[in-house]
Amino acid sequence: MRYAEPETVEAALSALSTHEDARCLAGGASLVAMMNAGRIGPGMLVSLHRIPELSTITETGDGLWLGAMCTHRTVAADARLRGAMAAVREAAAWLAHPAIRNMATLGGSVGLADPHTEIPVALVAASARVEVAGPGSRRVVPVESLFVDSYRTSLQRGELVTRVFLPRGEDGAVGHHLRFSRVAADYPTVSISLVLAMDGDRCRQVRVVVGSCGPVPLHVDAADQRLVGTRLEAEDVAEAGGLLARAAAPIDDVRGSAEYRRMLIPRLLGRALSQARERAHV
C-alpha cells in the first residue's frame, strides 16, 4: 500500500491521479474498519488531514461552508448551525458514539455514501451543496446528486469532496433530525431529517428525507407537497408518510425488516414533525 499526505488540495488531486486504486483517507472511522475486516485493500491512501483548507469553516450571508475534514464533533459543537442547518448539527451530535464522532468527518460521510448512516440524510434535508475538486477544476453540486447507490457516489476517479455548503434556509425554518436505532451506539434502523417552516399553524415549507430505507437518502417531492399548506394533522402526516414508505426500498437486516422500516416511516415522520414544531415555537 502506498501512502501520501499532501498539504494542498491540488497536491491531493495529483496524488490520487498517480494510482489506479487510490482512496482518500479522511477520519478513518469507516475506511479503516473496512480495511481491518479485509473488505477493502486500497492500493494507495491519500490522507487529507494535512490540508488546512479542508478543516476551515466559513460563514457567509447565505449559510456556512464546512470543510470536508470537519469532524462530527466539530459540527455538533458549532452553534452557528441554527435554523434549517440544525438538522445536520443534530445528526452529527447523536450518531454512533463519542469517539466515532470525534473521528468521522463530513467529507468522509459524503464520500463513503453508506446507506446505513445519517449524515447524508441530514445534508439532503438541509439542501446542502458540495464542492468537488477534480483535476483542474472545482464544481459545486447539490449533495443528493452525489448519492447514486449504496456506497456509490457520482464522484469521478481522481475527484474529492473539499467542502459542504449549508444554506441558512428561509426565515423561521427549523431543521430536525430524528434517529431510531436498536441501541444508542448503532446505525439507525430509520432516520428522518427535515427542515420545516410554519406560517402560524400551517406548514409553509417542508423538506423531509428518510435514511436507512434504501440505497440513498430518500426524498420525495410529492410527500413534501402533501404537507405544505396543511396543519400537519394526522391524516396529512399519514398520507405523506405513506408516499415515502411506498417510495422507499429498504432491506431486511439485523436492525429490522424492510416491512418494519416501511411501518416506521410514517410513524417517525409524525414524531419528527411534532418535535420540529415544538422547536419552531421556542
Partner 1 sequence: MSSHAKPGPIPEPVGEVLGQSVPKPDAREKVTGRAVYTDDLRVPGMLHGALLGSPHPHARILSYDTSRARALPGVRAVLTAEDLPPNDIGAVIKDQPLLARGKVRYAGEPVAAVAAVDLPTARRALELIDIRYEVLPAVFDAEEALRPDAPGIHAPRGTAHPNAASYIRLVEGEPDPAWAQCDVIIEDVYETPAQQHIYLEPCSTLAEVDPDSGKITLHTSTQTAFRVQAITAEALGVPMSRVRVLVPRVGGAFGGKVESTNQPITAALALAAGAPVRLTFSRTDDIRMMRSRHAARIHMRTGATRDGRILARQVRIHFDTGAYADDGPFVANIGSYFARGPYRIPHVDVECWCVYTNKLRAGAFRGFGNPQIHFASEVQVDRVAEAIGMDPIELRLRNALETGEKWLGGAPVESGTLRACLERAREVSDWHRRRERPPAAPGKRRGIGVAAVSHVSGLLGSSATVRLNEDGTVTVNTGAVDTGQGSDVALAQVAAGALGLSLEQLNFSRPDTDTSPYDWCSGGTRTTFTVGRVITQACEQVREQLFEHASAILQRPVRQLELRPGGFVGVRGEPGASVSFGAIAGRALYVEGGPIIASARYLFPAWQLDTRRTQVEGLPFMGNGFFVFAAQVAEVEVDELTGHVEVLEAWSVHDVGRAINPAATEGQVQGGFVQGLGYALTEELVWKDGHLVNPTMGGYKVPGVLDVPAAIHAVLLEHPFGPGPFGAKGIGEVGLVGVAPAICNAIRHATGANVRRIPATGERVLRALMAREEGGAKASDA
Partner 2 sequence: MSDKVSVSLTINGAEHALTVAPERTLLDVLREDVRATGTRRGCDEGSCGACTVLVDGVPVLSCLSLAVTLPGRAITTIEGVRNGAELHPVQRALVLHGAVQCGFCMPGIVLSAKALLERNPSPTVEDVRQALGGNVCRCSGYTRVVEAIASLGGRP
Q: Are 203 and 112 in contact (CB under 8 A)?
A: no
User: In the window 248-277, what residues touch partner 1 (CB under 8 A)?
Assistant: 253-254, 256-257, 260, 263-264, 267-268, 270-271
Phi/psi for 177 (5° steps) reads -130, 125
Asked if residue 103 binds partner 2 (CB under 8 A), the reply is yes
User: In the window 172-201, what residues touch partner 2 (CB under 8 A)?
Assistant: 184-185
263 three-class SS: helix
The CA-based angle 170-172-175, given to 5 degrees, is: 80
Q: Which does 267 bind (CB under 5 to 8 A by kind): partner 2, partner 1, none?
A: partner 1
Q: Which of 8, 18, 56, 98 binds partner 2 (CB under 8 A)?
A: 98
Strands (E), the chain: 2-4, 22-25, 44-47, 57-59, 63-67, 129-134, 137-142, 147-149, 152-153, 160-167, 174-180, 190-199, 202-211, 218-219
Q: Which of 2, 49, 97, 139 binds partner 1 (CB under 8 A)?
A: 97
Q: Which does 264 bind (CB under 5 to 8 A by kind): partner 1, partner 2, none?
A: partner 1
Q: Output the smallest distance, CB 35 to partner 1, in A.
A: 12
Strand partners, 165: 65, 129
Q: Output the smallest distance, CB 101 to partner 2, in A.
A: 9
Q: Which does 230 bind (CB under 5 to 8 A by kind): partner 2, partner 1, none?
A: none
The CA-based angle 241-242-248, given to 5 degrees, is: 90
Spell out, one character per residue from 174 to 193, where the chain touches partner 1: x when CB under 8 A holds, - when not: ------x-xxxxxx-x----
Q: Which residues of this chain interact with partner 2, rule CB under 8 A? A: 1-3, 5, 25, 28-29, 32-33, 35-37, 45, 47, 49, 73, 96-100, 102-103, 184-185
